[in-house]
Structure formats: structure tokens, C-alpha cells
Amino acid sequence: MTFYNKVDSSGFEGSDLVDNGTKAGGSIELYRNETDAEKRYESFKIGRVVSAGGCCKIKSMIIRTSPRLSFDEQEELLEKIVKAIDAY
């Protein structure tokens, strides 16, 4: 799932949100199990994914925010998403 947040859209490719992925605001990646999610999360932690933006793992989900957001904006957005998920 990709979501939109107010980011600078200059330089986006394609015509829609999915074409631009995490650059447009962020994404929530769902995996079959926690092990698969952990493998993906590790790729962000060790820098295999360039310009990954903010990232956190909750069970079998990876939540990512746009690298076009400032560090503080990334952290704030991640916190809001995590709180919304925890509410369920």
C-alpha cells in the first residue's frame, strides 16, 4: 500500500501515486511472516536500499516514509501511523 503525504512532487515519474511509491509519501509493505519482514527491514538498516527514508517494522509489516521529508517529518509520520495501527 502506498500513501500520499505533502512532499515536493517535482521530479516524480509516472502519472500516479503507485508509479512514485514511497517518494510520494510512504508505503506499508506486508509480508507473509515476521521472518520475511525482518529480512527486508535489515536491508534498510544496513543501507542496501538507497534513499529509503524513515522505516520501522511492526510484526510482519514494514512502514516507510519518503526520503523527501525532513528527518523530523519522517519520525512524526511514522509515529502517527504506528499509533493508528496500534489502535486496532
User: For the purposes of burial, counting CB atoms within 10 Å of the CB of 41, is it exposed (0-12), middle (13-18) or buried (19 or more)?
Assistant: buried
So what's the pLDDT on residue 18? 52
So what's the pLDDT on residue 44? 80
Task: Give pLDDT tens digits for 25-49.
Answer: 678 889 999 999 999 898 887 766 5
| Amino acid, res. 5 | N
User: For the purposes of burial, counting CB atoms within 10 Å of the CB of 68, is it exposed (0-12), middle (13-18) or buried (19 or more)?
Assistant: buried
Task: Give pLDDT tens digits for 2-33.
Answer: 454 555 555 555 555 555 555 556 788 899 99
So what's the pLDDT on residue 50? 57
